[in-house]
Amino acid sequence: MAASQQISKTIYLGPFVHSKSLQELEICKNGAIGVDENGKIAFVERDTTPLNVLEQQQGWKDAKIVRIQDNGFFFPGFIDTHIHASQYPNAGIFGKSTLLDWLNTYTFPLEGSLSDLPIARKVYNRVVSRTLSHGTTTASYYATVHVPATNLLADICLAKGQRALVGRVCMNQMSPEYYRDESIPEAVKASRECIAHCSSIDPTGSIIRPVITPRFAPSCSADCLRALGDLHQETSVYAQTHISENKPEIQLVKELFPESKHYTDVYDRAGLLTGKMILAHAVHLSQEERDLIKQRETKISHCPASNTALTSGCAPVRELLDQGITIGLGTDVSGGFSPSILEMARQAIWVSRYRAMTDGDQAKLSTEEVLYLATRGGAEVVGLEDKVGGFDVGKEWDAQMISLGEVDDEGAAAAGVESIDSVDVFGWESWENRVAKWVYGGDDRNTVAVWVKGRLVHKTERYSP
Ligand code: GUN
Ligand code: FE
């Protein structure tokens, strides 16, 4: 849908909601956001009328108008800071496993099967369409070790118009022989090929960017990590990996890297602990490790659904935030069972409340805070904070049109609940409460349209601007 679309100057009319800060949402009831032919936000008007906008904004008289419908609002596109595109067929399939046996039982066999390009095409088309339908406008993807399949994922994201960081998985040990890098030079060469492919299809990185992806410390020898750290330093390409997810994994890292002080030090020694590194999980870090992460300005992806599903633990998000560490949300499909960042926002709230039951009320995350992590926080994690995450002049229009449905009337209620809406709005709710109803009860049925850089990349049948 996206690749061939011409963008015309458009004014998005109606309520909009976005984060002002970690604690504060801006809810504007009469908004008008002008988006130019390059997909950039040219103006943001508050408390205005459509007529006033057209009269006051020079050169916008012939602009297209897109109006909010059915108790809706515009919201920034979600940012998934950690998702394994290759594992999407296993979403929901994990039994009672924990990380290390889950990898061997479920994950490596599935990822290995994506050496077959028709299988990879099927999986990647599905996961990109599905995440777009849930409002994910940017995703930081793990693919597999395979170069052609990884490049195909980049092609598919570009064609469908989803902003993506695309990572070829590097691993030279502790996986089946059929699924690993043959040598360190091979791993580096293959990674360079994927970086080059991303540059060839999107030279300015406007939609697609590569990401250097050592799977996690146990999958890579110290020399392999060092080689990837060198590549990271040489190219300035972003990097992503996992850290301190599960206790047996941490023990394994201790045994495999006896020269390192702790897990974080393994990446630091390799030159990978930088401001352009995304660390997924960070559940069991010591204070010394958090201090080092803060000092290096390294980013963290919080993956609450996965941490619960694989019983890895409850990440101390409040403490990490209080320390000033930058955090976003990750679905971590298929350690996580859902491709939805809205669901992750909810899960992050739940996990924080379980922590509050034992550690005190300050652990609780608010609706405002998790929506910040899902948008502006995520943007900072993936290095796109100048482009996306909120509705500011100069940023690009990565947005979702949320519709909460028509105010329920007696007729609909009498006819039985056959609604295509997932929440019921009665009409008397405050705007704050409407947003809360969406966060706690909403899903992809409420996401009626999605844009990336001004391009319409997903719409449902209800979209009628
Ligand atoms: N650690 C190493 N590989 C993986 C993975 O695929 N998923 C998760 N959640 N953790 C990992
Ligand atoms: Fe993961």
- Looking up residue 447, the CATH number of its domain turns out to be 2.30.40.10
**For residue 71, what pLDDT is reported?**
85
291: nearest Cα among 322, 254, 249 = 322
Does ligand 1 come within 6 angstroms of the Cβ of 216? yes
* CA dist., res. 368 & res. 237, Å (int): 31
Q: How far is the CA of 240 from the centre of ligand 1 (A)?
A: 12
Residues 176 and 120 in one domain: yes
Of 356, 381, 406, the residue at which a domain comes to its end is 381
Q: Of all atoms in ligand 1, which is nearest to the CA of residue 219?
A: 2
Does ligand 1 come within 6 angstroms of the Cβ of 306? yes
What is the tally of structural domains in the chain?
2
Compute the half-sphere exposure of residue 307: CA atoms within 13 Å on the CB side of its CA.
Answer: 29
Residues 72 and 82 in one domain: no
**For residue 2, what pLDDT is reported?**
45
**For residue 178, what pLDDT is reported?**
95
- Domain membership flag for residue 4: no
Assess whether pLDDT exceeds 50 at residue 431: yes
Assess whether pLDDT exceeds 90 at residue 406: no
- Domain membership flag for residue 5: no
- Domain membership flag for residue 137: yes
Residues 144 and 288 in one domain: yes
Decide if 395 contacts 389 (C-beta within 8 A).
Answer: yes
The structure's pTM equals 0.97
Q: Which ligand has its closest atom nearest to the C-alpha of 245?
A: 1
Q: How far is the CA of 206 from the centre of ligand 2 (A)?
A: 25
Residues 70 and 84 in one domain: no
Does ligand 1 come within 6 angstroms of the Cβ of 355? no
Does ligand 1 come within 6 angstroms of the Cβ of 312? no
Residues 72 and 110 in one domain: no
Q: Of all atoms in ligand 1, which is nearest to the CA of residue 218?
A: 2
Which residues, at least 6 apart from 291, have a Cβ–Cβ distance to it below 8 Å? Answer: 323
Q: Which ligand has its closest atom nearest to the C-alpha of 250?
A: 1
Q: What is the pLDDT of residues 230-268, one digit of tens each?
A: 999 999 999 999 999 999 999 999 999 999 999 999 999
Does ligand 1 come within 6 angstroms of the Cβ of 332? yes
Residues 91 and 217 in one domain: yes
- Domain membership flag for residue 3: no
* CA dist., res. 445 & res. 133, Å (int): 9
* CA dist., res. 200 & res. 179, Å (int): 27
Q: How far is the CA of 143 from the centre of ligand 1 (A)?
A: 12
Q: Where are the alpha helices (DSSP H) in 236-316?
A: 247-256, 263-269, 287-296, 304-309
**For residue 416, what pLDDT is reported?**
53
- Domain membership flag for residue 464: no
Q: How far is the CA of 335 from the centre of ligand 2 (A)?
A: 7
211: nearest Cα among 169, 153, 244 = 169
- Domain membership flag for residue 194: yes
Does ligand 1 come within 6 angstroms of the Cβ of 249? no
Q: Which ligand has its closest atom nearest to the C-alpha of 219?
A: 1
Can you give the CATH number for the domain in which 309 is found?
3.20.20.140
Q: How far is the CA of 67 from the centre of ligand 1 (A)?
A: 42
Nearest CA, atom 7, ligand 1: 335
Residues 53 and 109 in one domain: no
Pocket test for ligand 1, best of 174, 179, 245 (most atoms within 8 A of CB): 245
- Domain membership flag for residue 146: yes
Q: How far is the CA of 34 from the centre of ligand 2 (A)?
A: 37
Q: How far is the CA of 281 from the centre of ligand 2 (A)?
A: 8
- Residue 412 confidence class, pLDDT cut points 50, 70, 90: low
Assess whether pLDDT exceeds 60 at residue 112: yes
Does ligand 1 come within 6 angstroms of the Cβ of 335? yes
Decide if 442 contacts 402 (C-beta within 8 A).
Answer: yes
Q: Which ligand has its closest atom nearest to the C-alpha of 111?
A: 1
Residues 97 and 171 in one domain: yes
- DSSP string spanning 55-122? HHSTT-TT-EEEE--SSEEEEEPEEEEEEEGGGGGGTT--TT--HHHHIIIIIHHHHHHTTSHHHHHH
Residues 307 and 452 in one domain: no
- Say whether 44 sits in a helix, a strand or coil: strand
Residues 358 and 232 in one domain: yes
Of 323, 357, 381, the residue at which a domain comes to its end is 381
**For residue 50, what pLDDT is reported?**
77
453 Rama class: left (phi>0) / alpha (psi -120 to 50) / beta: left
Of 317, 350, 381, the residue at which a domain comes to its end is 381
**Mean pLDDT (whole number) for 213-242:** 98
Q: Which ligand has its closest atom nearest to the C-alpha of 100?
A: 1
**Mean pLDDT (whole number) for 326-331:** 98
**For residue 148, what pLDDT is reported?**
98
User: What is the span of the domain harbouring residue 427?
Assistant: 10-76+391-459
Residues 101 and 46 in one domain: no
Instruction: For 314-382, list the strands marked E by DSSP.
Output: 327-329
What token pair was written down for 411? 């007729």
Q: Of all atoms in ligand 1, which is nearest to the CA of residue 281?
A: 9
Residues 249 and 274 in one domain: yes
**Mean pLDDT (whole number) for 5-29:** 94
Average per-residue pLDDT in the chain?
95
Compute the half-sphere exposure of residue 292: CA atoms within 13 Å on the CB side of its CA.
Answer: 18
373: nearest Cα among 432, 310, 312, 331 = 331
- Domain membership flag for residue 2: no
